[in-house]
Amino acid sequence: MILVTGGAGFIGANFVLEWLAQSDETVINLDQLTYAGNRENLASLAEDSRHVFVHGDIGDSVLVARLLAQHQPRAIINFAAESHVDRSIHGPEDFIQTNIVGTFRLLEAVRAYWHNLPVEARQNFRLLHVSTDEVYGSLVKDAPAFTETHRYEPNSPYSASKAASDHLVRAYHHTYGLPVLTTNCSNNYGPYHFPEKLIPLMIVNALAGKPLPVYGDGQQIRDWLYVKDHCSAIRRVLEAGKVGEVYNVGGGNEKPNIDIVHTVCALLDELRARADGKSYREQITYVTDRPGHDRRYAIDASKIGRELGWTPAETFETGIRKTVQWYLENQDWVANVQSGAYREWVEKNYTGRAA
Ligand code: NAD
Ligand code: DAU
């Protein structure tokens, strides 16, 4: 079996669902259920004995050691993290705690477990750490995309905490021989994306008749990858990646934020037109920029393509259409995640952000 951490969040839940759609190998899913964790994402597995959910913290050494001893996983995929840049600006402490201290404690527990495994199990064991392109910092226009050897230049408390976790994972391989793999991926989008991030926020606000808040001039560039393609990349790296290596994962879809918002508006105009016949574009509002906002990310994913044969299945056009359709068909899910805590966040982040 495998142990997944953070498997009730956006990417983790998609990963667990995809894994069990393709394999009968049991998943132990350790998740602290922060505001971003949602068991409803896994509702279709409620009666499925191949999914074992454990409510807990990756930083709880006693719990993690017990889970490892009890279930003897052959691999661990570490998704658990605080993941939202804006939240890291308002309150970095949780990011330090989970992304750095939590990863460290997880590594320590895994090291002890791995060390005592029988020889063959020890050789076959893998820890795959899921990380981000944001650790590489910001690119100027026309600069080459990030390769795996690009220097680390994190600019937000979030990316700095992820960078620290990547360094710890690397060090545990070099120092202790722990068989690790690291993936650094670009912006994901798709089903179960919590509506504090750009794409789901725009869909949800548009449908609610609310402003679509674009930071700064909207010309910041991100590379976008459909979440199921990220999951297939992780499966491929787990299966065939070379121990100790880093693999960049991306969609080859560099787009300015404003283009993303225009695309979402156009799809909604087509699929759920406004009652007044006007375009959802009318709701776009430019607001005060994110402090320290990275201008451009771009991923060179040629290594994973060349060495492991991975390519994304979706183009941006097919993936974004599926995503908008999913949100239109899952309005109950949207309503349920818009709890008091969500409303407090929206208030904190957007009130006073001058238009
Ligand atoms: P998310 O915020 O949606 O989910 C994170 C999950 O981790 C939640 O279920 C949460 O409850 C859980 N969690 C948080 N702290 C925990 C702890 N201490 N112990 C156990 N569980 C804990 O995040 P996501 O977007 O699904 O991202 C998953 C991983 O992928 C993160 O490591 C993130 O840095 C990385 N990543 C995300 C993206 C993206 O575009 N979303 C891109 C590249 C990499
Ligand atoms: O690049 C990978 C990263 O992508 C992941 O590591 C992070 O976990 C994930 O959250 C994401 O980070 P971003 O900061 O790029 O994602 P976010 O959706 O918050 O913002 C995307 C872009 O849209 C960014 O340039 C800021 C902008 N934005 C965002 C919000 C929420 C807006 O213009 N308005 C908004 O209201």
Q: Which two tokens stand for residue 238?
A: 């787990």
At 275 the pLDDT is 98
User: Residue 27 sits in which domain range?
Assistant: 2-192+226-252+292-314
Decide if 203 is inside a domain. Answer: no
Residue 133 is among the residues annotated as catalytic for this protein: yes
- For residue 354, pLDDT beyond 80: no
**In angstroms, what is the span from residue 180 Cα to ligand 1's centroid?**
19
This prediction's pTM: 0.98
Question: How many domains is the chain built from?
Answer: 1
Decide if 355 is inside a domain. Answer: no
Best mutation site among 58, 83, 136, 182 for ligand 1, i.e. most ligand atoms within 8 A of its Cβ? 83
| CA 355 remoteness from chain centre | 29
For residue 353, what are the contacts with CB-CB under 8 A and spacing of at least 6?
213, 287, 288
Mean pLDDT of 218-228: 98
Decide if 48 is inside a domain. Answer: yes
Decide if 264 is inside a domain. Answer: no
Decide if 198 is inside a domain. Answer: no
Q: What is the pairing mode between strands 221-226 and 254-256?
A: antiparallel
- For residue 291, pLDDT beyond 90: yes
> By C-alpha distance, which of 259, 249, 256, 234 is closest to 299?
249
Which ligand lies nearest the alpha carbon of 284? 2
At 351 the pLDDT is 92
- For residue 325, pLDDT beyond 90: yes
* Residue 172 Ramachandran class (φ > 0 left, ψ -120 to 50 alpha, else beta): alpha
> By C-alpha distance, which of 350, 347, 327, 215 is closest to 264?
327
Which ligand lies nearest the alpha carbon of 134? 2
- Are 113 and 65 in contact, with CB atoms under 8 Å apart? yes
Q: Which two tokens stand for residue 6?
A: 């953070």
CA distance 134 to 139: 10
Decide if 260 is inside a domain. Answer: no
Work out the angle between the directed axes of helices 10-22 and 227-240 (0-180°, nearest 10). 60
Which CATH number covers residue 144? 3.40.50.720
Mean pLDDT of 43-52: 97
Catalytic residue, candidates 113, 136, 158, 297: 158
**In angstroms, what is the span from residue 270 Cα to ligand 1's centroid?**
32
Q: Which two tokens stand for residue 287?
A: 């607001």
Decide if 326 is inside a domain. Answer: no
- For residue 102, pLDDT beyond 80: yes
CA distance 347 to 343: 6
Q: List, in sequence order, every residue forming a beta bridge with 286; answer none if it has no partner.
A: 214
CA dihedral 274, 276, 279, 282 (to 10 degrees): -110
Decide if 177 is inside a domain. Answer: yes
Spatial strand order in the sheet of 126-132: 51-55, 27-31, 2-5, 75-78, 126-132, 180-185, 246-249
Residue 158 is among the residues annotated as catalytic for this protein: yes
- Are 2 and 28 in contact, with CB atoms under 8 Å apart? yes
Q: For 125, phi and psi rounded to 5 degrees?
A: -65, 145
Summarize pLDDT for 330-341 with one digit per residue, the tens. Answer: 999 999 999 889
User: In which band, very low, low, confident or very high, does the pLDDT at 156 lie, cut at 50, 70 and 90?
Assistant: very high
CA distance 27 to 302: 30
Amino acid at 262: H
Average pLDDT value for the chain: 98
User: In which band, very low, low, confident or very high, does the pLDDT at 352 lie, cut at 50, 70 and 90?
Assistant: confident
Best mutation site among 88, 94, 197 for ligand 2, i.e. most ligand atoms within 8 A of its Cβ? 197
The closest-lying atom of ligand 2 relative to the alpha carbon of residue 350 is 36
Q: For 282, phi and psi rounded to 5 degrees?
A: -60, -25
Share of the chain above pLDDT 90, in %: 98
Mean pLDDT of 146-169: 98
Q: State the residue for tokens 């960078």.
A: 163
Catalytic residue, candidates 134, 166, 223, 254: 134
Mean pLDDT of 136-160: 98
- For residue 355, pLDDT beyond 80: no
Q: What share of the chain is helix, strand, coil (3-state, %, to 5)?
A: 50, 15, 35
Q: For 243, phi and psi rounded to 5 degrees?
A: -55, 135
Secondary structure class of 141 (helix, strand, coil): coil
Pocket of ligand 2 (CB under 6 A): 83-86, 132-134, 186-187, 197-198, 201, 213-215, 220, 222, 257, 290, 297
At 112 the pLDDT is 98
CA distance 32 to 20: 21
